[in-house]
Amino acid sequence: MGVNLSGVIQCREVDLSFLSGKKVTIDAYNTIYQFLSIIRQPDGFPLCDSKNRVTSHLSGLLYRTANLIESGIEPSFVFDGIPHELKYTTLERRRSRRDDAEKEWERAIREGDIKKAFSKAQQTSRMTNEIRDSSMELLELMGMPLVKAPSDGEAQAAYMCAKGDVWASASQDYDSILFGAPRLVRNMTITGRRKMPGRDEYRTVRTEIIESEEALQQIGLTREQLVDACIMMGTDFNPGISGIGPKRGIKLIRDHGSLEAALRHIGEEISEYEEIREIFLNGEYTEGYDLAPGNMDREGIIEMLSGYDFTEGRVTSALDKIDCARAANRAKRQQRSLDTWF
């Protein structure tokens, strides 16, 4: 989930078309979890094929990626590598919460409470090896550039963005800012009217852009100081200090300058904070990636998704949309190149 800075970091809402012509790298795990959470039946069960294999993620990746390309966006996808050892406690805590939510979901189904069932079901999404591998297979067949991060995908995406290889990093989490991404795009893959996970509430979701430098100036902190504030609040690598949320954490660091000074002021300690700080400020990344899109294997996609019980007509419609969009985007790029000569 990452740190939650929604109450203190301002963003700018834009139409998806604003991103036309821009390269955006997407936090693949984060996006797949979003699809697993929202693409469900009314009772909360995910979409499945006749072999009881989950297909919600494949539906989301196919149709939403087609929409992104149709909007002129040049997407790439970054997949997580091996988690840092400090993250295992958080991952175990998430597994425990999913197990609890699954029990409540089953109870709601038995009691006929469909609203509660759907709400609890959204909290049970799991990234299995099959879901990860099938996601990568589909994206590769679609010709999408894939990057395999050595560890945290957001650290890799932030590096690519800071280097200028992509215009922005796309994720629901704010960790991209901590890892050093100059620009973060949120809600790029889930725009529209959506039910909020874990709540009986719907709202219209629009794409948001956060310019990291502007956000830091707004709250009066450097990136290093924001990392310190977030360590106090709690990150994927530590639980944080009880009672310290975004506003208090930011104020403490603003008033005292550093995590060490703030901890002395409140009489608290955080173990391994220096290592956590290092993870964010100097995260692991690889330079071994290629962001050039490949050719789409139409027959391969149809064959793969037919095996998951997708109807060929709907798949072909999405692929036609991608083909048309890519042709139009190529024509625009060629026209821009010509215009530079005159």
| pLDDT for 200 | 61
**pLDDT tens readout for residues 113-142:** 899 989 898 888 999 999 999 999 999 999
- One domain, residues 203 and 241: no
Are residues 171 and 158 both part of a single domain? yes
Q: Which two tokens stand for residue 269?
A: 């300690």
Residues in the chain: 342
In angstroms, rounded to a whole number, what is the distance separating the alpha carbons of residues 337 and 171?
31
Q: Do 169 and 254 share a domain, yes or no?
A: no
Q: Are residues 197 and 267 in the same domain?
A: no
Cβ-contact 206, 191 below 8 angstroms: yes
pLDDT of residue 335: 61
Question: Do 191 and 277 fall within a single domain?
Answer: no
Strands of the sheet containing 74-79, edge to edge, are: 12-14, 207-211, 183-186, 168-170, 23-27, 74-79, 146-148
Assess whether 204 and 170 both reside in one domain. Answer: yes
Residue at a domain's end among 164, 188, 219: 219
Rounded distance between C-alpha atoms, residue 188 and residue 31, angstroms:
9
Q: Work out the burial of residue 165: count CB atoms within 10 Å of its CB; fewer than 13 is exposed, 13-18 middle, 19 or more buried.
A: middle
Q: Is residue 253 part of a domain?
A: yes
CB of 65 closer than 8 Å to CB of 144: yes
pLDDT of 201 reads 65
Structure token digits, residue 282: 């100097």
Q: Residues 177, 250: one domain?
A: no
Residue 314 lies in a domain: no
CATH of the domain at 35: 3.40.50.1010
CATH code for position 245: 1.10.150.20
Q: Does 208 fall in a domain?
A: yes
Domain boundary among 166, 196, 219: 219
- Please tell me the distance from the alpha carbon of residue 301 to that of residue 299, in angstroms, as a whole number: 5
Q: Are residues 157 and 66 in the same domain?
A: yes
pLDDT, residue 21, reads: 93
Q: Which of 190, 219, 248 is the last residue of a domain?
A: 219
Ranges of the chain whose pLDDT falls below 70? 1, 191-203, 333-342
User: DSSP letters of 269-296?
Assistant: --TTHHHHHHHHHT----S---------
299 lies in some domain: no
Count of structural domains, the chain? 2
Q: Is residue 342 part of a domain?
A: no
Q: Give the CA distances from residue 28 to residues 10, 86, 110, 129, 133, in Å, rounded to whole numbers and listed in that order.
A: 24, 21, 34, 14, 12
- Same-domain pairing of 23 and 63: yes
Same domain, 39 and 107: yes
pLDDT at residue 195, as a whole number: 56
The answer as to whether 93 is a domain residue is yes
Phi, psi for residue 57 in degrees, rounded to 5: -65, -35
pLDDT at 192: 64
Can you tell me whether residue 23 is helix, strand or coil?
strand
- 77 with 212, same domain: the answer is yes
* Residue 300, domain member (yes or no): no
In degrees, rounded to 5, the angle at the alpha carbon of residue 228 between the alpha carbons of residues 225 and 231 is 155
Measured distance CA(55)–CA(183) in Å, rounded: 31
- Determine the structural domain holding residue 268 and report its residue range: 221-282
For residue 288, tell me if it sits in a domain. Answer: no
What does pTM read for this prediction?
0.91
Query: Both 86 and 65 in a single domain?
Result: yes
Per residue in 190-234, pLDDT (tens digit) is 766 665 555 566 667 899 999 999 999 999 999 999 999 999 999
